[in-house]
Structure 1
Amino acid sequence: MVERDDPETIGRRVQRLRVERGLTQRQVAEPAYSAAYVSTLEAGRVRPSDQALRHLAERLGVEVDELATGRPAHLVTDLRLRIVEAQRTLATGEAEEATRQYAALLAEADALRIVEVRAAALLGLGECAVETGELVEGRQYFERAEQTLANAPLPARVPALRGRALSHYLAGELRYAVYLLESTLDELNRGGLHDPDALLLLYASIIGPYMDMGAHARAAQAAEFALALAPQAGDPALVARMHRSVARTLIAEGRVAEADASLAKAAELYRQLQLRTELANCHWMRGYVYAQNNELERAEDELRQALTMLSASRAALYSSQAAVELADVLHRRGKSDEAAALLQDVLGDLSSERGAVHSAAAHRLLGIIAEDARDPEAAEEHYVRALSLLERAGAAGDLADLCRLLGDLLRREGRVEAALDAYRTGLGHRTAPGTTTLGPAPAQPPL
């Protein structure tokens, strides 16, 4: 989408090009228009329609965008190629260099008033900010991209909406992230806007928040829709991301072999596309799957590989989250001192505003390690910190488990009333299987 010049400017441009080519107004006008119309247009007294611009551009031997804006067509093409180059830079884990490329593109797009390139540059800057853990800045870029595309169809705005939801999700605002994703899905499906790429992106993105909130039935349904949409999608990286997300629901249902197969498909696609950060996240998820299946040595290998790759690409927030998963495996393998040291290192990069769920997981694990070391005071302190983080995030499933740990600790310490309070808190947050407090589910896609 390119913003047109005003009628007077377009009129002068038509006249200049016509004179340069030695054509009369009648020759430019025929057969679709009259010489009088071209005269009126050249005087700037009429705004040409899209059809008129296409006709005039053909008669004058130029591209429509060049006639409407004065910019050669190759300029927009060059900018689009640079957008692809910046996307590739980010995909290979060089977020800082990608940020510089996107910032330069944004400045040029603003100067040239090219809406399409401006939106793509803002979207890229948002992705870079999320990669480096700057969630507030990332959300602001996504919001600006959404505003830039305000007049575009909803499917075109979906990547910006999804980016905004992702930044809220990573900040621990699970309920609002789900609201954004569900309302967009509902609008797409009820409006008959069956765009497979847009729908697949949304369904793959909503699985994580659903799982963290304990809404497992909705997560499983989203995974089912994503798998059904995948054959229609045109973006292989999007399909790979979908397989990675779906693995979470499969492992929750005990379907370990299927989860591993789904991740293998994702990893192969990421390798083919040379998407380094996404491949690292795939190793991370495979480590999670192996850990859930009690294959701890394989889990440690996968998670160490993920952490090495993410650290090399300076994906600070994702590195910290993978480190928490690795620490859990190390603790289970009897390497509690190494696990505790790793957790203390990453807690400085996590907070209630930045990776709340994983920050809570770090405190939970440090509490368990403290209990093993017979330090109930330190354990209680870590459990309470984790409880505060999970309550703010609304992570119901993790909350119930944490309240059980805290209640058991308090009961062993002889503090029965405090233990009962902890148990009641856990029961209050626990939802019945297949239910959620999120309200009606969004309309289903027309599969």
Structure 2
Amino acid sequence: MGPTSSQGVHVTSQDLVGQRIKTIRRQRGLSQAQLAHPELSDSYVSLIESGKRTPTPAVLELLAQKLDCSLTYLVNGVTAEQMEELDLGLRFARMALENGEFIEARRRYSELMEDKSILGLATLRQDAEFGYARSLEACGQLDEAIRVLSSLLDTDKESQSPSRRVAIAIALCRCYRESGDFQNGVHVGERLLGETARPNWNDDLIELGATLLSVYIERGDLLRARQFATELLSAAESLGTPRSIVAACWEAAMAAEQVGFGEEAMSLIERALAIQSETGGPRNLARLRGAYAKLLLQVRPAEAEAARDLHLRSMRGLKESSAGLGDITLGSIFLARAELALGNLDAALEYAQQALGLVGESNHTLHSEVHLVLGQIYYMQRRDADCSSELSVAGESLKHLSATRKVAESWQQTADTMAQLGDHDASVEAYQRALSCVGL
């Protein structure tokens, strides 16, 4: 388990300032009365040291002079040199994360969180903890990322800016979605949106809404997804910013495709892609190209070759922009499916095996998906024993997932392939699990 500063008794910055004044006073051999005289009363100094009074900036400056210490140390508990070192450490950690050096970023953020000098610096500590959680997510350690993000969201409300709080919620909602815990993903998204005045949408809240919409879709709550997509699109249009329109159109397209409005979905995602191409960063552009390729294959299967080529371009962009492990794994799985649809079985197998080498067994969603596509490839190659083995592994992972429409579809695909293999008992069991997932 990684480091955390949120365990134990919560100490406010006011308490810490008082404790530092008391400690330095005693080190200097001064009584409260001696420190106070002549400008302050000893009772006022006592209240400051106990955390019951917040000294003004002028009083803090006076006390720093009397105690012969820097104001920076009195306020933050660190020297100016230590502050500079912490800032430098955060910059290096952030750079490692942005450059795709996720293990190095995780190590650097972890070291910063263990540095005692950062404890009294709320903003820098939150930067370190949030960066640590993002690096954990990029490394595929979703459970630990969820633990750190949940702690941040629940314990630091007072010291967080609204944008920081929404950013934490977006990351937490996304981690819950990727881990298959859709109930908690929905809870986080709806709770944070409920904390704000809903008509006052901004880019951050639209992005949170889009992430929540993606969880509705993954959970199979398609009626709610369509309703919320309409609300989100309207809010983005009113706001009129590129970031909000891209986020809303992107996820609204996914919702439209799920309920059978394929061409509407294509129109929405093409609009998002056009805006992102002009105004957005390369990493999100690569992700959006990948989403467009996926929709293209689903809505217009005759254009499988174009979908594959577009996704190859997306994968190049993801690797150049140092995207996380999840994005690369999903991209490899999609390419395996595209090559399978084109009848290129050797290429499909190569991509599926690449994905298998990236995915961890703890991510049951991706684990089941990659073994299912391997089973389908082996079936087409007439490797029946290998096919049966892969489908069995996929089934074990599916058993760990919540009952959703997507999981039902995976069980149905498993059942169909088992039936083609002639394993009727396994096929019937998989069909029953598919029906159970949709409440039948």
TM-score, normalising length: structure 1: 0.73
Structure 1 position 324, deviation (Å)? 0.2
Q: In structure 2, how many angstroms separate the alpha carbons of the residues matched to 1:25 and 1:324?
A: 73
Where does residue 278 of structure 1 map in the other structure? 284
Letter in 2 for 1:261: R
Q: In structure 1, how many angstroms separate the alpha carbons of the residues matched to 2:280 and 2:14?
A: 36
Unaligned runs of 5+ in 2: 1-11, 29-35
1:104–1:309 CA distance, 2 compared to 1 (3 A): farther
Per mean C-alpha deviation after superposition, the further-off stretch among 116-125 and 401-410 is 401-410
CA contact (8 A) 1:175 1:393 kept: no
Residues 33-85 of structure 1, C-alpha deviations (whole Å, 9 max, x = no match): xx5x5564356667688875145469999999776446689986996687577
CA contact (8 A) 1:200 1:230 kept: yes
Where does residue 31 of structure 2 map in the other structure? none
Aligned match for 2:373, one of 360, 365, 368: 365
Q: In structure 1, how many angstroms separate the alpha carbons of the residues matched to 2:91 and 2:53?
A: 28
Where does residue 6 of structure 2 map in the other structure? none
Structure 1 position 267, deviation (Å)? 4.3
Structure 1 position 113, deviation (Å)? 1.5
Q: In structure 1, how many angstroms separate the alpha carbons of the residues matched to 2:412 and 2:46?
A: 79
Matched, 1:134 2:144: no
CA contact (8 A) 1:404 1:423 kept: yes
1:53–1:326 CA distance, 2 compared to 1 (3 A): same
Residues 412-433 of structure 1, C-alpha deviations (whole Å, 9 max, x = no match): 566656544443332232369x
Structure 1 position 128, deviation (Å)? 1.2
Q: How does 1:44-443 map onto structure 2 within 5 Å?
A: 53-54=56-57, 56=59, 68-69=75-76, 83=90, 86-87=93-94, 89-99=96-106, 101-103=108-110, 105-107=112-114, 110-111=117-118, 113-146=120-153, 148-149=155-156, 151-152=158-159, 155=162, 156-186=164-194, 188=195, 196=202, 199-230=205-236, 241=247, 243-252=249-258, 253-254=261-262, 255=264, 256-271=266-281, 276-294=282-300, 295-311=303-319, 313=322, 315-354=324-363, 356-394=364-402, 396-412=404-420, 419-430=427-438
Letter in 1 for 2:121: I
The structure, 1 or 2, with the larger RCO (C-alpha pairs under 8 Å, 6+ apart) is: 1
1:290–1:49 CA distance, 2 compared to 1 (3 A): same
Q: In structure 1, how many angstroms separate the alpha carbons of the residues matched to 2:84 and 2:49?
A: 29
Per mean C-alpha deviation after superposition, the further-off stretch among 139-148 and 215-224 is 139-148
Where does residue 445 of structure 1 map in the other structure? none
What fraction of aligned residue pairs are identical, expressed as a percent?
21
Letter in 2 for 1:424: Q
Query: Considering only aligned residues, what root-mean-square deviation do their CA atoms show, in Å?
Result: 4.3
Letter in 2 for 1:326: L
CA contact (8 A) 2:213 2:229 kept: yes
Q: In structure 1, how many angstroms separate the alpha carbons of the residues matched to 2:225 and 2:91?
A: 32
1:40–1:419 CA distance, 2 compared to 1 (3 A): closer
Letter in 2 for 1:296: A
1:200–1:372 CA distance, 2 compared to 1 (3 A): same
Q: In structure 2, how many angstroms separate the alpha carbons of the residues matched to 1:184 and 1:284?
A: 29
CA contact (8 A) 1:300 1:330 kept: yes
Q: In structure 2, how many angstroms separate the alpha carbons of the residues matched to 1:283 and 1:108?
A: 41
Per mean C-alpha deviation after superposition, the further-off stretch among 48-57 and 174-183 is 48-57
Residues 267-308 of structure 1, C-alpha deviations (whole Å, 9 max, x = no match): 44333xxxx543332232122122223332332223223323
Count of paired positions: 408
Unaligned runs of 5+ in 1: 17-23, 27-34, 433-447
Per mean C-alpha deviation after superposition, the further-off stretch among 117-126 and 337-346 is 337-346
1:198–1:68 CA distance, 2 compared to 1 (3 A): same
Q: In structure 1, how many angstroms separate the alpha carbons of the residues matched to 2:231 and 2:72?
A: 39
1:398–1:60 CA distance, 2 compared to 1 (3 A): closer
Structure 1 position 338, deviation (Å)? 0.8
Letter in 2 for 1:258: L
Structure 1 position 125, deviation (Å)? 1.1
Structure 1 position 357, deviation (Å)? 2.5
Q: In structure 2, how many angstroms separate the alpha carbons of the residues matched to 1:115 and 1:193?
A: 30
Where does residue 4 of structure 2 map in the other structure? none
CA contact (8 A) 1:173 1:392 kept: no
Residues 389-410 of structure 1, C-alpha deviations (whole Å, 9 max, x = no match): 3342226323333444444445
Structure 1 position 119, deviation (Å)? 1.3
Structure 1 position 343, deviation (Å)? 0.6
1:49–1:293 CA distance, 2 compared to 1 (3 A): same
Structure 1 position 319, deviation (Å)? 1.1
TM-score, normalising length: structure 2: 0.74
Where does residue 44 of structure 2 map in the other structure? 41
